[in-house]
Amino acid sequence: MKIILAAPRGFCAGVNMAVKSLELALEYFGPPIYVYHEIVHNQYVVKTFQSRGAVFVEELTDIPEDSTVLFSAHGVSPAIRSLAKERRLNAIDATCPLVTKVHLEAIKFAKEHYTIILIGHEGHDEVIGTMGEAPEAIILVETIADVDQLQFDRDRKLAYLTQTTLSVDDANKIINRLKERFPWIIGPAKEDICYATQNRQEAVRILGSQADVVVVLGSQNSSNSQRLRELAEEKGKRAILIDGPTELNADFFLLADTVLITAGASAPEEVVQSTVAWLQKNFDATVDEIAIQKEDVYFPLPRALRTLGSAPS
């Protein structure tokens, strides 16, 4: 068997920043450190931090007053920030700057009296946070069918934004439909789908043609990881989304000479390498890493951590 190891893969700059933030918070403040929602959508990462004293909560009211809370990479609404202040929580904001960009765009458009069409997945943490910035001005759509249900007069100011982890192709189909129905709609100056999401999708698009099977490392609740699996399947490939090699079955690789391995933006490199090792052990696989793009993006730590004397910037 031959393994094609896609690059770039795994952690993006936003996830790196969020994970490092939680590591430093545990180091400086000691456990328990409370985290509002999962730090990133990856079960391996979540369970690792739980073993070190991180406590993941869905409600701020579950956190004792005067405790330390870290906001996840997906961002939170203004209401959550206000509640954290009311409960005297020491809040560390690890929101990905690319998500913050979308929040700021929503605020700007709302102040200018636009109705904002947000393209995203209902219930996703990022979408909840973005909609919380201007709930009276934002309408969520998930599909072209949703767009076709919209009715606006020509004098209604319209703008669109997108969740950062969507499929580029799927988002563009919805954007194009919005522009067909409402030619006066405007969008952000720079697209919202993050560089890492696009690069990982492009790697699957380019390298998937060389493989019989595609293995995506990531969790089921990871939007960008699901998109990688779906993209591979759209290209006619057998594809699987797993958290790690314990979920693999040798039967899945019957008649597979070449396997493409990639990882969503919240999946750590450890699970990639352990999956490679499993295939090497069971199929005497060789590995060829192929990079389709270079990534050198870096996001600084949250201010609350940078101001701690010895914390690196």
**Residues that are catalytic:** 126
Whole-number Å distance between alpha carbons of 9 and 196 = 8
The count of other CB atoms within 10 Å of the CB of residue 281 is: 10
DSSP per-residue codes, 80-91:
HHHHHHHTT-EE
Pick from 263, 224, 227: nearest CA to 245: 263
Q: Please, are residues 241 and 213 in contact by the beta-carbon 8 Å criterion?
A: no
Q: Looking up tokens 């079960």, which residue turns up?
A: 43
CA torsion sign for 21, 167, 273, 124 is: positive
**Beta-sheet pairing, 54-57 with 33-36:** parallel
CA torsion sign for 162, 267, 5, 212 is: negative
Helix axes 13-29, 43-51, angle to 10 degrees: 10
Tokens of residue 299, six digits? 């996001």
Map residue 245 onto helix, strand or coil. Answer: helix
Whole-number Å distance between alpha carbons of 26 and 200 = 30
Contact partners, residue 10, CB within 8 Å, separation at least 6: 217, 263, 264, 265, 267, 268, 269, 272
Q: Please, are residues 233 and 187 in contact by the beta-carbon 8 Å criterion?
A: no
Tokens of residue 227, six digits? 């998109």
Whole-number Å distance between alpha carbons of 92 and 62 = 17
